[in-house]
A = this chain, B = another copy of it.
């Protein structure tokens, strides 16, 4: 028997893979949750029918979400992850030696429970004494903790259901207030090929919330729609697109030797946007008034 899983990435596009076994399937209070053993990509976490991660390519997403702001910041001590109950973002954050506290504001405790069971290589970091699980609504958490975090990482699901508010200006404003001086916010903001409106709106809402242009960056993630993913960063401190001098120096406070996607070069290159993305953000026209490739 051939068993195939298909995610309908849009109403007219599907990505499918052969499945060896369904390891878990349940309805939580918040969403439908499944863990599949797939043939091409190892284990896969699926929420409401949408691929959240596979063990084959989660490294790209988690490294790029966590290390870009942490390396740009240079001396982050206290960070917040909104969503991210699988633990992958926390795992990457903990590579930074000076991190004293990582708060995970995940709405669904069952994601954490299931990840501990089926994705120990992601969830392992959740048992670190520096990590604090704050189950509940991320929007409320951010609003209740002004001036507390050096870096806020929005590791959310697609903008459906409870996650819709995580792409709006009021949330980004609350994130700005939740930052300490020098702080940086990064959010995952979907595909620049298939979700252009959302990429544009997130960028514009984050820019308005921070009072200066947000910065979009890109990374390839094969199991996400279109294979190209965007992240949007805003800062009340250093430029998110540049590794800090401390990290570029000899005494960098982390151990990056096992990273597979992130490097200082990749960090900077990821912010070099192709003209079609600059145009959809409106940044190309406003910067030069000239054609797309000048």
Contact = CB atoms under 8 A, between A and B. Distances in A.
Nearest to A257: B291
Given A40-B12, A272-B265, A274-B266, A258 B228 contact: no
A39 interface: yes
Interface stretch (A83-91, A172-180, A219-227): A219-227
A269 interface: yes
A255 to B, nearest CB: 9
7 closest Cβ contacts across the A-B interface?
A227-B227, A257-B291, A256-B293, A269-B269, A259-B293, A269-B272, A14-B16
* Copies, count: 2
A283 interface: no
Contacts of A218: 220
B16 A292 contact: no
A291 B226 CA distance: 30
Contact of A222 (B6, B226, B279): B226
A286 interface: no
A292 B257 contact: yes
Nearest to A291: B257
A280 to B, nearest CB: 10
A108 interface: no
Contact of A13 (B16, B256, B261): B16
A118 interface: no
A33 interface: no
Which of A38, A57, A261, A269: most chain B CB closer than 10 A?
A269
Interface string A195-223: 00000000000000000000000101110
A236 interface: no
